[in-house]
């Protein structure tokens, strides 16, 4: 939670381009959603017709080994994807909804940029071992 709060409070203080919140999302369902888990974003950035969810994960293992191949963690990606799909379902028509999975950097961590069902997705890391200005620059670059 410390990493999540750091990112949210930094963006709240240091940028003015977006409105920022942590948002509870509604499931886009026709059925009874009473027993479905709550969806609470770490950070949601909004401006005009753009929505960006930043999901922070403080873990030493961003990557997993499965069948001899290294992959990003599927549980984190599925969580972000659920947020994007349900946020898009309730966003104004024509809105662009994207997401960022943000990890602290531990060793070599590749960056991924892709599009999932029309949603731009970025999986990246934040190097917390550098000087403050480097950390600040990295966080503000997330908004580009």
CATH code at 2-26+37-110:
3.40.1350
Tens digits of residue pLDDT in 24-82: 888 888 878 788 888 999 999 999 899 999 999 987 666 656 677 666 677 899 999 99
**Apex CA 6: angle with CA 23 and CA 127, to 5°?**
120
- Across the chain, mean pLDDT equals 88
pTM score over 0.95? no
What element of type H or E holds 6?
Answer: helix 2-14
Task: Give the DSSP letter of residue 26.
Answer: P
Query: What are the domain boundaries of the chain?
Result: 2-26+37-110
- For residue 84, pLDDT beyond 80: yes
* Cα–Cα distance, 144 to 30 (Å, whole number): 36
């Amino acid at each position: 939670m410390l990493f999540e709060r750091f990112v949210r409070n930094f963006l709240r203080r240091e940028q003015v381009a977006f409105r920022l919140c942590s948002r509870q999302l509604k499931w886009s369902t026709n059925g009874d959603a009473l027993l479905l888990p709550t969806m609470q974003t770490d950070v949601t950035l909004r401006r005009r017709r753009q929505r960006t969810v930043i999901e922070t994960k403080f873990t030493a293992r961003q990557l997993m080994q499965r069948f001899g191949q290294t992959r990003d963690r599927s549980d984190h990606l599925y969580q972000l994807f659920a947020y994007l799909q349900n946020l898009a379902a309730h966003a104004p028509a024509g809105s662009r909804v994207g997401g960022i999975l943000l990890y602290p950097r531990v060793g070599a961590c590749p960056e991924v940029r892709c599009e999932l069902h029309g949603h731009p997705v970025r999986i990246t890391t934040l190097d917390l071992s550098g000087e403050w200005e480097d950390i600040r620059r990295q966080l503000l670059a997330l908004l580009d």
